[in-house]
Chain A
């Protein structure tokens, strides 16, 4: 029963949602809306599950002194600090309806002073690593790599005002050689073709996995190694 009941629920909900999408009339239409609300309710509970999971994983790392366990202390302390100052609305208007991000609240202070700075720093560092990695790895070793390199140069220049400065003087007949136009062409034609192929592949994969789940062929989500 422990296996059969979840399988029956998955089958019924899966079929119901497919019908709700393809039959846009009541009661199926209404069903789609109801299921969306349930999904949102479950998503809220997922925060509790996610927090518990984070504490469990990093707690284990700290207690076992696993590799890089000191970073886990930072994670757990950061998580608990934000949780406590947010949940108890320290420094801000108290009560359930008190704004956690009100001026003067510790949560807002920590968000602005720590979280924003850390995120901005992490993302900014990418520019340095991209420059270093491009210099070391971007070599015209083969014909394909050379094509990729040329496309990258066109996009890099085309996505800045330089493209206009460099080729803006070209006559109307040679407008297709204008670097921003070339850049748009690369994004709109070869890039789009590649992206579509990937997306169709992913969609087919999702359909096949969904069917396996609905029909009870794929059972690993139940735990117990698919028994």
Chain B
């Protein structure tokens, strides 16, 4: 090999990080630009949540806690919207709250995208309510397990909680038929299981980022009835929803559409790991030959 000229192993071993960044950027941009969409199949752990919502009789109370912020919106928001759409379509009562200070703005997004778009006939305080954020993390969950009205004396707009029809027969969390925490860290699904689901014997389901999902498997299925993990989890719920209710095909396929870029990005990462290993083994072989 001529001096100053690198062979293929050297090139593969030291790919400039700017090339990696560029390929990852293209892996995300191109599928978005060309609307690359794959069909998604739901897994048992996500179907369990869908089936639970399906099985609840009309009028049952479902609490969704928005425990995430803007950083994880692409993963968490589609889950929240798909579940809320399903809950309202089944004529269940939707209670929304947040243990994260960044949760209420996401609730507002959901109200715009789901309630004001697809469920204009649903009445605030009768079919759905927004309780807002309160400080206290797991302490708050523990407190509302025993006395919800004591902690939430008003809704997010400052209206007395007693004025809402759907709050009249709610004293604490045990009145809920299902709690769904859409979260991305602490406090999140784990705290809802430990401080509400377990002590109150209330079914708890979760929707979390892909990074957090493996940490919650020890609770599934006895303490956590189902889990949506990352964008894939959200897409699986959307797939189940659209399959049963095709009228939501136009409005409830955010995550399914985002799975295109994610799939290609995963493939690019796998390709880089393979390339890195080819270079590693080629170099090791070369060193062995040199020593021999």
Using a CB–CB distance below 8 Å, which chain A residues touch chain B? 29, 32-33, 36-37, 39-40, 43-44, 46-47, 97, 99, 101, 111-112, 115-116, 119-120, 122-123, 127-128, 130-132, 134-136, 138-141, 149, 152-153, 156-157, 159-162, 164-165, 180, 184, 187-188, 191-192, 195-196, 199
Give the residue of B71, B143, B232 whose beta carbon is less than 8 angstroms from that of A37: B143
In the complex with contacts A33-B143, A99-B157, A162-B273 CB distance below 8 A? no
CB <8 Å contact, B269 and A130: yes
Measured CA separation A128–B19 after assembly (Å): 11
CB <8 Å contact, A128 and B140: no
Q: For chain B, what secondary structure do more than half of its interface residues adopt (helix, strand, loop), or is it mixed? A: helix
Measured CA separation A77–B258 after assembly (Å): 36
Closest 9 CB pairs of A and B: A161-B38, A39-B139, A36-B143, A40-B136, A123-B71, A135-B272, A119-B71, A160-B263, A116-B70
Shortest Cβ distance from B137 into A: residue: A43
Q: Taking the complex as formed, is B9 at the interface, i.e. its CB lies under 8 A from any CB of chain A?
A: no
10 contacts between A and B (CB under 8 A): A32-B142, A36-B140, A36-B143, A40-B134, A40-B151, A130-B269, A135-B273, A140-B280, A156-B269, A159-B232
Measured CA separation A58–B269 after assembly (Å): 38
Chain B window 96-131, contacts with chain A (Cβ cutoff 8 Å), 1 for yes, 0 for no:
000000001100100000000000000000000000
CB <8 Å contact, A139 and B40: no
In the complex with contacts A120-B73, A195-B214, A196-B218, A140-B270 CB distance below 8 A? no
Chain B window 237-279, contacts with chain A (Cβ cutoff 8 Å), 1 for yes, 0 for no:
0000000000000000000000100110111111011011100
Binds A, one of B20-28, B48-56, B80-88, B161-169: B20-28
